[in-house]
Structure formats: structure tokens, C-alpha cells
Amino acid sequence: MKRIVIAALTGLSLGLLGACTQSEEQPADAVPITGEVNVYSSRHYDTDLALYDDFTKQTGIKVNRIEADADALIERIRAEGEFSPADLLITTDAGRLWRAEEAGILAPVDSLVLQQRIPANLRDPGNRWFALTTRARIVIYNKAKGAPVGLATYQDLARPEFKGRICMRSSSSVYNIALLSSIIAHDGEAAAGAWAKGVVANFQRPPQGNDVANIEAVAAGACDISLVNTYYLARFATPEKRKVLDAVGIIFPNQATTGTHVNMSGAGVVKTAPNRANAVKFLEYLASDSAQKYLANGNNEYPAARGVAPTSAVEALGTFKADTLGAAEIGRNEAKATELFNAARWN
């Protein structure tokens, strides 16, 4: 099947967001182009392109795509107002979807397909956005130094016996902000603030690097413990990188309590969508079994839809009980989480 290169949105200045190229000739067996859908996406995974190709082949609806940072896309849609060509916003992180909802740029979608496919905790209560994939934030440790005794929950990371053993990425990471937001929801602001300060007191070094760098640091013994997303860890399941993966142990936190925290990527239909029906059709397509497997496996994530099992390297990391806290509640607490991180001097 020949790849369809995504066409540029007509009339848009693409200085900030980058240009897209004109579509190639359609495969001979493709459905004739009869419509379009304009997607603003902050998912920067090349594997997603095959889904756009397949959707066009099945429906005849051409997918026009613009990529940029989620906050830039949200602001662009706000600035474009009623004249925005955007039909669908796709982004990562529950907080950013909640931010889009708060900005008033998303419209409710009355779709029985989406309500049946996507669990309630992974969609907006008003059906303005829906999760597409999820990823868990887990504890890793250096196997050679042994499993940290007494470490079973996120809360345990703040215990004094782990002083000088933890490496973390910056508090500006949306993954850390979302985690602290969930702790606020479960334990309250005071306890969440105390937790952040306790973890800072246990740092082996100032926050630095991304999840990949911290995985490598733990594997090398530069520090003992870190928090990382499952999809980053699964990237080390290749023969070339397997040595790193084999050097770390995994703990799915809070299995006896609230469950392991998960964040997500998701999408919502823009309120002023000029091609609303096509946007809903595309969103329903992304919730289908085949699209869910492709979305998840292409980036080592977990499918959001009910009844779809992961088949990528994340499956080998183990099964776990996920926190079912509503993603909307996580988003609602993210501003407070940032305040608490700043107060804790978690840079």
C-alpha cells in the first residue's frame, strides 16, 4: 500500500507549524477522495501516518495534518476563532486535553461508538475528548543493587531511607505534573506538597535528562531509583539495547491501593470544525480495534479502548492494576501541582 503524504491545509501560514506536502497519487484500489478532515496533532510519531493512509483508503476522506506543540496548537485554534480550519485536536497528556476543554475550543461528541469503546475515566465527562492510548508511570531500580526494601508506592519515594538514591527529570515534565496531580486528587494538597519535598530531599543529583537518560543512569548504577514511562522503557527491548533493560527492575506502584498512575494521548472535535461529521468519523475510526492496536504498538503504549490488548514490548513488562482516577480530575489539578513542585524546589 503506497503511503499518502499529508496535504497542506489550504490558506494557512505554516511558519510556526511547518509545511506539509501535496498528496501523492492515490493507490488504484483506494476509494475516490470525497471529503477531508483537518487534524492538528502534537503526536509526533511517524507510525501514525499509516493510520491516516488507511482511513483515507477506507472512507475516501483525505486527512490534512498540522503538527506542533500542544499548547501552540490550542492557542492557534483560539486565535483562529470561528475561521479555524481545524476539525480535530490530537495531543498527549490529560492536562493538555483539559486545557483545551477549558479554552472552550472543543465540542461534545454524541457517539455511542466512542462511549462504548472508551472507558469513562479515559474521556471527558461531557464527551469533549477521548483517550486514544495510555502509558503508565512506573518505578525502576538497579537490579545489581537489589530491589529497594519498602518501596511499593509513589508515596514511599519520599521516605528518608531512600535519601541520595533517586534521580528524576525536571518537574516541568508533563508526566511528573500529571503524577503529582493524581496524588493531590487522592491524598490532598498538603500530603502532595509534603511528598514532593520528601522526594527532593532524596535526590542523588539535581533533576536532569529525560526518561531515557534516567533509565540509562539507573542501569549504569549512577543512581538507584527513578520514575519513567513504560513506553520509554519498552524501547530498550531491542537486541541492541537489551542490556540496559535487563539491568533494571520494575515496580508497578500502588498495586494494593489506588493503582499505578496512567497518562494518555487523546483527541477532541474542535467546536468550529468545518468538517465535523468527518472528524467524528475519524475519531471513531481511531477507537476501532485495528487502529487502537496500531496506535499503541507503534509507540509501545497501551490501547485505551476496552477489550484491546497490547502486543508490543510493553506487554512483557508485566500486568498491573491501573489507577482509574478520571483524566479530567488530573487535568484540573495540574496548576496546583506546578505550584507544589516550585515550593518544593523541584527544578
Structural domain span for residue 201: 136-261+319-344
Average pLDDT over residues 273-290: 97
- Domain assignment present for residue 29? The answer is no
Q: Classify residue 15 by burial, with Cβ atoms within 10 Å: 0-12, 13-18, 19+.
A: exposed
Report yes or no on 279 lying in a domain: yes
Identify the pLDDT of residue 12: 36
The answer to whether residues 203 and 326 belong to one domain is yes
Beta carbons of 296 and 303 less than 8 angstroms apart: yes
What's residue 187's pLDDT?
Answer: 98
Query: Which pLDDT tens digit goes with each residue over 63-77?
Result: 999 999 999 999 999
> Any idea what DSSP says for residue 118?
S
Residue-wise pLDDT for 149-169, tens only, equals: 999 999 999 999 999 999 999
If asked whether residues 141 and 128 sit together in one domain, one would say: no
Same domain, yes or no: 110 and 143: no
Q: What are phi and psi of 128, to 5 degrees?
A: -95, -15
Residue 25 placed within a domain? no
User: Does pLDDT of 33 surpass 90?
Assistant: no
pLDDT digits (tens, 9 = 90+) for 49-66: 889 999 999 999 999 999
Closest CA to 227 of 160, 192, 298, 177: 177
275 phi, psi to nearest 5 deg: -125, 55
- The pLDDT, as a whole number, for residue 93 is 86
227: domain CATH number? 3.40.190.10
Contact 51, 78 (CB under 8 A): no
Together in a domain, 78 and 173: no
Lowest mean pLDDT among 44-53, 95-104, 212-221, 333-342: 44-53
Note whether 185 and 329 are same-domain residues. yes
Q: How far is CA 3 from the centre of its chain?
A: 25
Residue 301 sits in the same domain as residue 175: no
Tell me the DSSP string of 26-64: PPTTSPPP-EEEEEEE----GGGHHHHHHHHHHH-EEEE
Mean pLDDT, the chain, as a whole number? Answer: 90
**Confidence at residue 48, expressed as pLDDT on a 0 to 100 scale:** 80
The answer to the question of residue 22 being in a domain is: no
Q: Are strands 61-67 and 35-41 parallel, antiparallel or unpaired?
A: parallel
pLDDT of 44 higher than 80? no
| pLDDT confidence band for 13 (50 / 70 / 90) | very low
203 and 323 co-located in one domain: yes
Asked if 89 and 109 touch (Cβ cutoff 8 Å), the reply is: no
Instruction: Quote the distance between the C-alpha of residue 191 and its chain's center.
Output: 26
For position 17, what pLDDT does the model report? 35
pLDDT in tens, 182-237: 999 999 999 999 999 999 999 999 999 999 999 999 999 999 999 999 999 999 99
Lowest pLDDT segment from 17-26, 125-134, 244-253: 17-26
pLDDT value for 10: 36
Phi-psi region of 80 (alpha: psi -120 to 50; beta: other; left: phi over 0): alpha
Specify the number of domains making up the chain.
2
Give the pLDDT band of residue 30 (cuts 50, 70, 90): low
- Look at residue 15 and tell me if it is in a domain: no
Higher-pLDDT residue of 32, 10: 32
Residue 106 has pLDDT above 90, yes or no: yes
- Check whether 329 has a pLDDT greater than 80: yes
236 and 338 housed in the same domain: yes
The whole-number pLDDT of residue 190 equals 98
In this prediction, residue 71 carries a pLDDT of: 92
Task: Note the pLDDT tens digit of each residue in 235-271.
Answer: 999 999 999 999 999 999 999 999 999 999 999 999 9
Q: Which letter does DSSP use for residue 318 in this model?
A: -
C-alpha span between 224 and 166 (Å, rounded)? 6
Q: Are residues 229 and 158 in the same domain?
A: yes
In a domain, 7, yes or no: no
User: Is residue 23 situated within a structural domain?
Assistant: no
Residues 93 and 237 in one domain: no
User: Do 163 and 179 sit in the same domain of this protein?
Assistant: yes
Q: Are residues 326 and 248 in the same domain?
A: yes
311-320: b (≥16 Cβ within 10 Å) or e: ebbbeebeeb
* Secondary structure, 3-state, 113-173: HHHHHCCHHHECCCCCCEEEEEEEEEEEEEHHHCCCCCCCCCHHHHCHHHCCCECCCCCCC
Report if residue 16 sits inside a domain: no
